[in-house]
Structure 1
Amino acid sequence: MEIFIVVLILLTSIGVSNVINRFTPWIPVPLIQIALGIVLAVSPLGVNMPLDPELFMVLFIAPLLYNDGKIVKRDEIWKLRIPILLMSLGLVFTTVVIVGLVINKMIPSIPLSASFALAAILSPTDAVAVGALSERIHLPKQIMRLLEGEALMNDASGLVAFKFAVAATVSGVFSITHATFSFFVIAIGGVLCGIITAYLIIRGSKAIRRLGMEDATFHVLVQILTPFIIYMISEELGVSGILAVVAGGIVQSIKSDFTESAISKLKIVSSSTWSVILFILNGLVFLILGLQIPAVESVILKDNSISNVQVFIYILVISLTLIVLRFLWVYLFWNESWNIGKKKHVYKHKLKPSILTALSGVRGSVTLAGAFSIPYVLGNNEAFPERDLIIFIAAGVILFSLILASTVLPILSKGDKKLDAYNVDMLEKEIFRKVIRVGIKALNDDLDLDNKKATLSLISSYKKIIKNNFINKQEFQLNIQDRKIEKDILAIGLKAEHVEIKRLFKTGEISTCVMDKQEYVLNNMEKYLDRKIKFRVINKIILVRKIIKNLLVKSTTAEQANMQELKRAKILTSKAAIVKIKAQMNEENMKASFVVIDHYNEIIRKMNRVSNKDKDLNFYKQRRELQFKALQAQRNEVQSLFENNEITREIASKLRQFINYLEAIIIEEEIV
């Protein structure tokens, strides 16, 4: 029961971290999750999850690297094979030697072999951490591909070097010839084992499908189990499980390129399932990392035999040595052949790409898992020298690399060329169209025979927005002051509608029922102007109640008559609002007034366009539901673009204002 509660808390924390990141997009999710892990560990809850290195590698790292192998851009990685090998092999072994010597010189209490072990576990960059950072830091494509390829391969070389360094420390014996031979056996054996095992699993799945078993759930289960099977078989054979799962993922990717369309449903289910699994695993990796830090720190910080300041100096020196060495390595070897794209002059000067690549070498969970796998005792039953200090330094370097990359890279990775006013305008227009297309895609995804009429009606409206290039209209040229005036003008229009609806009731042109419904809608619109968030929640509840009512109660002839009366009343109140707005129009509020008048004219056009035949409750219920889905998809797209640094906060604000404006129009039109 206790482990279940811990898992439940961690899963909840993953959700909390993403909510926090929604409001603080400048802080990477990994750092938020590490911080939450630390808070959970030191809180009264006392959440504790001991890190078992072997279990951690198979449970978390294996499926994550398998997925990285599946989604990697094979052609681009192949073009960068030489620099990737230089980084994942040459840089790793150079780091082991140079950083190992620095550690031993700086901390004599750590023997040379143990210093090499620490340097080895610090040498590989973390594929999970690199992927997490790439979601918000836009590095040039060739650098991103280089980092991805390097992270997929250097885990194996770093862990193999670490294994031999630890073995040398424990036994006191080391053979460079034996180590070199073993490395190639372990690496090549891991790749071959991954390819063969993945191929056999794929062939087995095909054989099962030929027997008539096309159940997507079963085949997705096989895909989920694949990385665990590959990793465990490889490790059992004594070869690299990490390289095996990467190779297995690439084989799966190649197979997917030639998969017949008959199992397209399996692809959809598999993609959805993996997205959830990866979301959880990525979150758990950093949360568990955070959970370990307080325990690691307490041992060293409470140790009176070593100065706390001195320990932090060790971490700083080692981290900077890793960065400088990485920079020099890239700077010395960088040439134009490392570029993937056709425009090789993009990075004619290699200083900036070298700095970006050096700072992008973040360390992560593999480093900490390796540090925790250091044995407690040597072959002569003596304690492993400075084991706690080694783990503490590893954790410190991980945090330092993550924080440095998160703070400095976004600044350095920004383009040097500033956009002029024309280019900014063109960018805004293109982003606007992209967001509109997201709404169209959301509608197409929900299209079926039952809602075809409502869906095509909405898609037509969205296409009209793009075709007419609405972004050139005045409503998208309004500044912040104009937006404030627009709210005031709309408030004047709503008051005019209130007056007109009361007049229509007094003269007997509308019934009590119609007046109440119109007043109800107008009151809600006024609430929307004052409190957007609260109104949106209230409106969702109202819509749900209406949907339930429409499902349970069939419309009567009287209700159909009310519909016509409501439509006529809406046309008259909209005309009254236009007259009132025009009466108070002046130079200062002219732009905002035209926007609101255009809004009312659109309502009048739509009310006049609707025929008795189309006045179908089911049609409007479907249309309303679909349009809110499209709006939500657009809001999600805007947030995603903002989090990925593709748009500025100002453009995001403009887009959200437009989406809110569309929502207000929907609400006002839905008077039933």
Structure 2
Amino acid sequence: MDTVFLILLLLAAVVVANIISGKFNKIPIAFIQIAAGLILSFIPIYKHFELEPEVFLLVIISVLMFNDGQHTSLSRLTHQFGTTFSLSVELAIISILVVGFLTHSLISGMPLALAFALGAIITPTDAVAVSSITSNMLVPTEVMGTLENESLFNDASGIVALNLATAAAITGKFSLLNGIGNFVYVFFGGIILGGILGAIIVSIRFRLINIHVDTPSVMVPFTLLTPFIVYLIAEAMGVSGILAVVVTGLMHGIQQDRLRLTSSRLQIVMTSTWQIVSSILNGIVFVLLGLSLPRVIIDLHNRNTGSTFILLGLGILLYIIMTALRYLWTVLDFARIRAWDKKEKRANSLIMALSGVHGTITLAMAFSLPLKLNNQSFPYRTDIIFVAAVVILTSMLVPTFILPLLLPQQTSKYSEKELSTAKIQMVDNAIVTLQTRHGQDVNASQVINILDGQRVVEGHIDKAKLNIIFDNCFELEQQTIAIMLKNDEISELNADLYMRVARRTIVQYQQSGWQRFKMIIKFNFFEKFSPSKKARKRRRTFHQMKHYQNDNRSEMIKRNRQMWQQMAVTEKKPFEKVTSYLNQSLINDSENSREINLVRRAYDERHRRLTSSFVENYNFKDNQNELLIEAFQQENNYIQSKIATKEFSTELGSALYEQISTDQLVYLQSVNEE
């Protein structure tokens, strides 16, 4: 139970760090996660916390490497294979050897095998960390692609080298010839086995799709289990489990187009799941670094007052040497990066060198070192973890300050207002087309309501203004229902039921927990003790109906259906009043169009669900799907024509295309689930 509690606290720290990062997005999230770990280190229960080294390789590294593999472009990898191999294997081996011999000469007490283990740990680069640092900068496409390919395979090279160095430290024996032979067997054996297992697993996925067993509850766990299964099989056969996992991930990436035969719902769930898992695992590693640093420093200080400063200097020196090696390796064309002239070549080489950021994999490898060696504490484990931490932090701090001086800031080719205006024009065009082709068809009307929801463009929402608009709409509904009740257009029961639905809409869209709480109290506490005789009578009638329904199940279903059919009729006039108010507000108050459109979207969605639930046409959903597809195709055609006539820039068109793809997945799935 204690272990579960400790892990839950780690997850909570990651979540809090992610929240803070959203508010301070100029600070790399890794630093915030490390700070969260430092805070956790003051909690007494973490005083002797240790995560088993095997857990890092199996649960963290294998999963992250599989995810990197399945998101790697094979065409780009093939095109840059020579450069990728040179950086991820040749340069990695040279870096390990240089770091190993230098460390052994500076710290004579450290065995050469452990010095090589340190080199293997701090060699891998992290393209994800680079992306977080350069998110607002224009990194040359060729450089960024090279970094991503390199990080995928030099991680594997480092892990293979680490395993060999650790084995040599444990046995006390090392033969250069045997070491090379083992490296070749473990490295290429992992690649071959990963290809075989990847082909088998992908074929199983296709088989599940073909027999229609492709629900998220089956496919998502199946995919999540894949890296664990592949890693364990590869390790059992004595080859690199990490390389096998990487290649299996690549196989999934290659077949991704065919795997999209699955439902849109599955694609959304699968993508979201992997994003969340990857984010959490990366976050946990950095939180653990912050959690472990105080204890590591205390241990070093207790052992030798000068060792901390010596290792700090060693970590900075090793970073400088590895950065210089990366620069020389690319500028001397051992790894070719396309450039127009020598000036651009030197600039790209410098960016490549500074972008050699070390992150999650380096840290996870350091933590994966065994706790014991021949029934004694693993020698220099604390030293290696500390040096690795220094290298990671230095490699992240240096480019954070220097790269902005070398790279131009990323600027959008279109403004947020242009995107909003273009999207509204696109939706209006699709709506007019549907109205022209299908007239007042009920399916077309429902689809038009859905398309109206596309008008909302993501961005800053003024919560106070949003709440005022919702409150005005609710007050308008109350007034309309009161007039309808007074004119005997509806019954008291229908009026009461409708206002319950209206209150739920307001509560659902309140922007904070405190606002929701106030609304719930207002609607449930004060009205519960309302002195109004009519209100008490409506409540009494409503509760009598509930008791009657509980006594007779079949009658309940029939009565319930009739009640909600009447609700759809009751909702028509208030919805028209609210829609008219919001349309007029858009004309008179264009500055708050984002908030008004968001409210419109909420009411359109509620109206669509109320009305579409009781249409007796069995082909209703299919017809809606066809019309939605037609509408989205019209939107794509509209964008294409605007780009062709130069009215939309290519960048603006790409942004609109991306939003259409997302909306298409969400809306089609929404219709199918109703």
Match for residue 235 of structure 1?
Answer: 235
Q: Structure 1 residues 535 and 412 mapped into 2: Cα distance closer, same or farther (>3 Å)? A: farther
SS of equivalent residue, structure 1 residue 338 = coil
> C-alpha displacement at 1:135, in angstroms?
6.0
What is the distance in 1 between the residues matched to 2:94 and 2:57? 25
Instruction: Give CA-to-partner distance per residue, 1:461-507, whole Å, 9 cap, x none.
Output: 578x79xxx9xxxxxxxxxxxx9xxx9xx99xx9xx99xx9xxx9xx
Aligned residue identity for 1:395: A
Instruction: Give CA-to-partner distance per residue, 1:3-26, whole Å, 9 cap, x none.
Output: 121122222222212211111111
> C-alpha displacement at 1:108, in angstroms?
3.2
What is the distance in 2 between the residues matched to 1:264 and 1:347? 48
Q: Does residue 371 of the first structure (1) align with residue 375 of the second (2)? A: no
Q: Does residue 117 of the first structure (1) align with residue 123 of the second (2)? A: no
- Within a 5 Å distance, the mapping from 1:377-456 to structure 2 comes to 386-409=380-403, 412-415=406-409, 429-430=418-419, 433=422, 456=447
What is the distance in 1 between the residues matched to 2:173 and 2:409? 52
Contact 1:113 1:169 in 2 (8 A): yes
> C-alpha displacement at 1:360, in angstroms?
2.0
SS of equivalent residue, structure 1 residue 51 = coil
In structure 2, list runs of 5 or more residues that go unmatched: 431-440, 484-510, 528-558, 598-603, 615-650, 652-674
Match for residue 12 of structure 1?
Answer: 12
| Alignment match of 1:357 (pick from 352, 356, 381) | 352
What is the distance in 1 between the residues matched to 2:277 and 2:575? 49
Match for residue 258 of structure 2?
Answer: 258
Match for residue 321 of structure 1?
Answer: 321
Aligned residue identity for 1:58: L
Aligned residue identity for 1:300: L
Match for residue 637 of structure 2?
Answer: none
- Within a 5 Å distance, the mapping from 1:591-610 to structure 2 comes to none
> C-alpha displacement at 1:251, in angstroms?
1.3
Contact 2:285 2:363 in 1 (8 A): no
SS of equivalent residue, structure 2 residue 50 = coil
- Within a 5 Å distance, the mapping from 1:479-518 to structure 2 comes to none
- Within a 5 Å distance, the mapping from 1:78-227 to structure 2 comes to 78-126=78-126, 129-130=129-130, 139-206=139-206, 212=211, 214-216=213-215, 217-227=217-227
Q: Structure 1 residues 151 and 432 mapped into 2: Cα distance closer, same or farther (>3 Å)? A: farther
> C-alpha displacement at 1:263, in angstroms?
5.9
Aligned residue identity for 1:356: I
Aligned residue identity for 1:15: V
Length-normalised TM-score, structure 2: 0.64
Match for residue 631 of structure 1?
Answer: none
Q: Structure 1 residues 272 and 164 mapped into 2: Cα distance closer, same or farther (>3 Å)? A: closer
SS of equivalent residue, structure 2 residue 139 = coil
Contact 1:48 1:291 in 2 (8 A): no
Contact 2:202 2:251 in 1 (8 A): no
Q: Structure 1 residues 552 and 386 mapped into 2: Cα distance closer, same or farther (>3 Å)? A: same
- Within a 5 Å distance, the mapping from 1:454-473 to structure 2 comes to 456-458=447-449
Instruction: Give CA-to-partner distance per residue, 1:247-293, whole Å, 9 cap, x none.
Output: 11111222333347366665444334333433332332322333322
Q: CA RMSD in A?
A: 6.1
Q: Which moved more, 1:39-48 or 1:432-441?
A: 432-441
SS of equivalent residue, structure 1 residue 350 = helix
What is the distance in 2 between the residues matched to 1:35 and 1:58? 26
> C-alpha displacement at 1:222, in angstroms?
2.3
Instruction: Give CA-to-partner distance per residue, 1:169-221, whole Å, 9 cap, x none.
Output: 455543222222221111110011111112223334555666x5625223333
Instruction: Give CA-to-partner distance per residue, 1:85-132, whole Å, 9 cap, x none.
Output: 111012111212222333234333334443233122211124664565
What is the distance in 2 between the residues matched to 1:177 and 1:615? 74
Length-normalised TM-score, structure 1: 0.64
What is the distance in 2 between the residues matched to 1:197 and 1:414? 44
Match for residue 669 of structure 1?
Answer: none
Q: Structure 1 residues 554 and 377 mapped into 2: Cα distance closer, same or farther (>3 Å)? A: closer
Q: Structure 1 residues 620 and 366 mapped into 2: Cα distance closer, same or farther (>3 Å)? A: closer
Q: Which moved more, 1:123-132 or 1:178-187?
A: 123-132
What is the distance in 2 between the residues matched to 1:113 and 1:242? 21
Count of aligned residue pairs for this structure pair: 562
Instruction: Give CA-to-partner distance per residue, 1:386-427, whole Å, 9 cap, x none.
Output: 4432221112212222333445445544349x89xxx676x7
> C-alpha displacement at 1:539, in angstroms?
7.7
In structure 1, list runs of 5 or more residues that go unmatched: 442-449, 471-482, 506-530, 546-550, 579-591, 603-609, 623-646, 648-672
Contact 2:56 2:368 in 1 (8 A): no
Percent identical among aligned pairs is: 31
Instruction: Give CA-to-partner distance per residue, 1:646-666, whole Å, 9 cap, x none.
Output: x9xxxxxxxxxxxxxxxxxxx
Aligned residue identity for 1:367: T
What is the distance in 2 between the residues matched to 1:407 and 1:75? 33
Aligned residue identity for 1:157: S
> C-alpha displacement at 1:228, in angstroms?
0.6
Q: Which moved more, 1:406-415 or 1:154-163?
A: 406-415
Aligned residue identity for 1:232: L
Contact 2:568 2:611 in 1 (8 A): no
Contact 1:41 1:48 in 2 (8 A): no
What is the distance in 2 between the residues matched to 1:312 and 1:147? 27
Contact 2:159 2:242 in 1 (8 A): no
Match for residue 298 of structure 1?
Answer: 298
> C-alpha displacement at 1:240, in angstroms?
0.9
Q: Structure 1 residues 348 and 7 mapped into 2: Cα distance closer, same or farther (>3 Å)? A: same
SS of equivalent residue, structure 1 residue 72 = coil
Match for residue 509 of structure 1?
Answer: none
Aligned residue identity for 2:200: L
Q: Structure 1 residues 142 and 431 mapped into 2: Cα distance closer, same or farther (>3 Å)? A: farther
